[in-house]
């Protein structure tokens, strides 16, 4: 595998990273979304091969054993997420730059693996209260799951300084503009 420059965008759940990634991909055809694999069921409108590769926990663990993952993490107890080698090879073979939309631990791990070929961006919510409001409005999780995500977010925010760039998503359009600018500087 011949790694090219890649972009990691990480954030606590509900901070807006997926919305920002979607906007960036629409603006820039040289960027390509790395579809992660996960061991959970689809939520809402999520589709196989577009949002995630949905694997059973057993199948995910078998792929770990087989060495199919570039990186993987157990993000929540019994819930695995990871990047398949085949996904990176597909994007790099097309001459595009990989954009990872991953959790904070995974983002830092990818940064460690790719080194100077990786720009790691942390999307920070303006506050935990705003994040809680966004998670409730999303209406995809139970109250218990939201509390679990908020507790995890408080820990993840402590990792923000380990990223190359931190962008506070208080104004979505401004955050997209800021992220786009730092990516262009990195790729030029």
Give the CATH number of the domain where residue 30 resides: 3.40.50.300
Residue 31 lies in a domain: yes
- Whether 111 and 8 have beta carbons less than 8 Å apart is answered as yes
Determine the Cα–Cα distance for residues 72 and 69; give it in Å rounded to an integer: 6
Mean pLDDT over 176-183 rounds to 97
The model's confidence at residue 145, banded by pLDDT at 50, 70 and 90, is confident
Q: Is residue 1 part of a domain?
A: no
Q: What is residue 48's DSSP assignment? A: B
Whether residue 59 is contained in a domain is answered as yes
Angle at CA 7, nearest 5°, toward 82 and 53? 30
Give, for 173, the enclosing helix (H) or strand (E): helix 172-187
Q: If you average pLDDT over residues 177-185, what whole number do you get? A: 96
Instruction: With respect to residue 128, please indicate whether it lies within any of the assigned structural domains.
Output: yes
Residue 75 has pLDDT above 90, yes or no: no
Tell me the residue range of the domain where 115 lies: 6-187
* Domain assignment of residue 42, yes or no: yes
pLDDT greater than 70 at residue 19: yes
Judge whether 22 lies within some domain: yes
How many other CB atoms are found less than 10 A from the CB of residue 65?
Answer: 8
| Residue 3 predicted with pLDDT over 70 | no
**Coil, helix or strand at residue 38:** strand
pLDDT at 116 over 90: yes
Count of domains forming the chain: 1
51 token code pair: 């949002």
User: Is there a contact between 107 and 7 (Cβ–Cβ < 8 Å)?
Assistant: no
Q: Which long-range contacts (CB under 8 A, 24 or more apart) does 37-42 make?
A: 37/63, 37/69, 37/72, 37/80, 37/81, 37/82, 37/83, 37/84, 38/79, 38/80, 38/81, 38/82, 39/78, 39/79, 39/80, 39/81, 40/79
Task: Give per-residue pLDDT as tens, 91-113.
Answer: 999 999 999 998 898 899 999 99
Q: Which has the closest alpha carbon to 107: 9, 5, 33, 39?
A: 9
- pTM value > 0.85: yes
């Amino acid at each position: 595998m011949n790694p090219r420059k890649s972009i990691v965008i990480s954030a606590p759940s509900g901070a807006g990273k997926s919305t920002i990634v979607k906007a960036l991909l629409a603006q820039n055809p040289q960027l390509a979304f790395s579809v992660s694999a996960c061991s959970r069921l689809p939520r809402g409108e999520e589709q196989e091969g577009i949002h995630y590769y949905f694997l059973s926990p057993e199948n995910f663990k078998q792929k770990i054993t087989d060495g199919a993952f570039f990186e993987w993490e157990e993000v929540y107890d019994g819930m695995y997420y990871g990047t398949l080698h085949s996904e990176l090879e597909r994007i790099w073979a097309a001459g595009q730059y990989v954009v990872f939309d991953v959790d904070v631990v995974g983002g830092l791990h990818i940064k460690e693996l790719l080194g100077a070929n990786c720009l790691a961006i942390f999307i920070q919510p303006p506050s935990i209260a705003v994040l809680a409001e966004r998670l409730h409005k999303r209406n995809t999780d139970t109250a218990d799951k939201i509390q679990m995500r908020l507790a995890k977010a408080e820990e993840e925010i402590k990792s923000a300084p380990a990223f190359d760039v931190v962008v506070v998503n208080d104004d979505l359009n401004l955050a997209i503009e800021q992220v786009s600018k730092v990516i262009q500087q990195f790729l030029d």
